[in-house]
Amino acid sequence: MIRTALLALGLCAVTLPALAQDQQVLPARPGMPITNRPEPDEQIVAGLSRDNIGITTSFDGSQILIYGAIKRETPEPEGQKLAVIVTLEGPLGPVTIRKKSREFGIWVNTASVGVAAAPSYYAVATSGPLGDILDRRTDTQQRISIPLAMRAFSGPITVDDSIPFTEALVDIRKEQGLYKLETGGVHIVDNTLFRADFALPANLTEGDYKTRIFLLRDGKLVDKYQSAIEVRKVGLERWLYTLAHENAALYGLLSLALAVFAGWAAAAIFRFVR
């Protein structure tokens, strides 16, 4: 029930301005903490095991280690529960969610909901159960939990209740391993050092993967750190993809030439073998 309410809240309350703001934040210098308020008592100092991933022909997923420390000028505050959440978010893209219903005895797509921008990948690793370490207000402001990662609807909403649709999107992507919530995925040592491991799946789309680290005390945000990991097709993958999109006619002819050659070669070899 709470999840449903959150979902509705996130999608309705935050519209395009939030999106624009979000994208302004993204190009910030990688590796630099974003401090938009006076220096907090505790600050995140963090690093990534790698800041770019190349999708090669043999790409089969990738491991990313995000690690860091909490820097303190003053002694650690007493009695407030410390928590760290690390999120990794793939490029946003429009998604259409369709629902089937039975018409004339067969199952047909009859209703659809468009989401203007949903991340192609979204993983949240936490140091404890999300409900305990993060309050609702911070979650809504920072868009941390999975349902909040989706942005505004696109086009007019033609269904009575859009919630089952967005829930279905989350469920399907969770099943595909693209959306993940890893409770306990962040390990904190001595309330100072932390690390989170992410296993990126093989069916990754290219783009900038936004990394965010949130330092929380009693559910409230203390400090935030943001960086980006570049995921790019490289080598042959890059070449073919670029060719297919920028020089489609040539690419089409190339595919044909390849097929014709293969067909001819097969016939020739077959004759030779005989």
Contact residues toward other proteins (CB under 8 A) are 55-61, 93-101, 105-109, 112, 114, 120, 154-155, 164-165, 168-169, 171-173, 202-203, 205, 233, 236-237, 240-241, 244-245, 248-249, 251-256, 258-260, 262-267, 270, 273
C-beta of 173 vs 180, nearer to other proteins: 173
Q: For tokens 């790698």, what's the residue? A: 50
Cβ proximity of 210 and 123 under 8 Å: no
Tell the smallest beta-carbon distance from residue 143 to other proteins (Å).
20
d(CA 109, CA 98): 6
**Residue among 217 and 233 whose Cβ is closer to other proteins:** 233
- Shortest distance, position 7 Cβ to other proteins, whole Å: 15
Nearer to other proteins among residue 8 and residue 240 (C-beta)? 240
CB of 188 to other proteins, least distance (A): 33
Phi, psi of 154 (to 5 degrees): -115, 140
When the beta carbons of 122 and 194 are compared against other proteins, the nearer one is 122
**Tokens coding 60:** 């089969």
Whichever of 35 and 96 has its CB closer to other proteins, that residue is 96
CB of 59 to other proteins, least distance (A): 4
Which residue from 243, 241, 199 is spatially nearest to 53, judged by alpha carbons? 199
In angstroms, rounded to a whole number, what is the distance separating the alpha carbons of residues 29 and 9? 31
CB of 189 to other proteins, least distance (A): 34
Per-position b or e across 21-55, b if 16+ CB within 10 A of its CB: ebeeeeeeeeeebeeeeeebebbbebebeeeebbb
